[in-house]
Amino acid sequence: MKFFKPTLVAIALLSVMGCQESAKQEEQAVALDTEIQKQAYGLGASIGMYMERNLEEHDKLGLTLDKSLIIRGFTDSMDGKSQIEKEDIQALLMNLDQAMKAKQQEQATVSSEASLAEGQAFLAENATKEGVQITESGIQYEVITVGDGEKPTATDTVKVHYVGTFLNGETFDSSIERGEPAVFPLNRVISGWTEGVQLMSVGSKFKFTIPSDLAYGPNGNPPRIPGNSVLQFEIELLEVQKPEAAAQVGDQ
């Protein structure tokens, strides 16, 4: 089933549904005897969970919506008694959407500035630790295991296991957690990976600390990675796959 695109109008509508149903459920249980009843309830439940997340985001941004007014607007509109004209409602919701985006941008800027200062301090301290080596570009790395296989070039495809973490140790990506190695062309990832993995031989395992300008830069990789984030990766190189040679004219 193709579902509707989330809009502020949908948020208002679905929030009302959730509030009304919660009030009713306190008085009596919902009948879920037939398949169609369960389907209807399941649709409402999925919408409610989606709405809860969206209203929480509004709260975090300081744009808390008064649920009683949402309910009143919904019921008045259903009865054909809306106190605000349709054109004005559209303008109001557009303004709310713009305010939300402005708040999000403001938070992203603050987070990015904090990440930049934190990253610079971390790199300076980490560079002094025993065993940490630094490339000319600024990548810091530690050798955990040395393999005896071949080294890849930038045009090769590699198979790796890796764990990516923020400086606080929180994991943001892991092939190990997914249960299968990652395979990708080495020249189609962040430049810190392209350069760093070429230092490794098959069978090696390195820990890289990658400056933000060699990772996702000031813009980050929303919504998971803030701008100016210094990232750490433990990478195990499992295999190097050479690009297939182009067929020559006259080859059979």
Q: What is the model's pLDDT at position 246?
A: 46
What's the whole-number mean pLDDT along residues 70-92? 81
Which pLDDT band, with edges at 50, 70 and 90, does 11 fall under? low
Query: Does 78 score more than 90 pLDDT?
Result: no
Query: Does 221 score more than 70 pLDDT?
Result: yes
Q: Which residues does 134 contact at the CB level (< 8 Å), separation at least 6?
A: 127, 140, 141
Give residue-wise pLDDT tens across range 151-165. 999 999 999 999 999
CATH of the domain spanning 132-241: 3.10.50.40
Q: Which residues does 192 contact at the CB level (< 8 Å), separation at least 6?
A: 139, 208, 210, 211, 214, 215, 231
Measure Cα distances from 96 to 49, 153, 182, 193 in Å. 21, 50, 41, 40
Domain boundaries, the chain: 8-83, 132-241
| pTM for this entry | 0.62
Which pLDDT band, with edges at 50, 70 and 90, does 8 fall under? very low
Amino acid at 197: V
Q: Which of 60-69, 167-176, 192-201 has the lowest mean pLDDT?
A: 60-69
Q: What is the model's pLDDT at position 4?
A: 39
Quickly tell me which residue has 């025993």 as its tokens: 130
Query: Does 166 score more than 80 pLDDT?
Result: yes
Look at 19 and 197; give whichever has higher pLDDT: 197
Quickly tell me which residue has 């392209």 as its tokens: 194
Above pLDDT 70, what percent of the chain? 83
d(CA 156, CA 89): 55
Q: What is the model's pLDDT at position 162?
A: 97
Q: Count the neighbouring beta carbons within 10 Å of the beta carbon of residue 189.
A: 14
Give residue-wise pLDDT tens across range 21-68. 554 555 567 788 899 998 988 887 886 677 677 777 777 778 887 777
Which pLDDT band, with edges at 50, 70 and 90, does 80 fall under? confident
What's the whole-number mean pLDDT along residues 77-93? 85
Q: Are the C-beta atoms of residues 11 and 53 closer than 8 Å to each other?
A: no
Query: Does 231 score more than 80 pLDDT?
Result: yes
CA torsion sign, 145 to 147 to 152 to 157?
negative
Q: What is the model's pLDDT at position 245?
A: 54
Query: Does 5 score more than 70 pLDDT?
Result: no
Above pLDDT 90, what percent of the chain? 46
Query: Does 148 score more than 60 pLDDT?
Result: yes
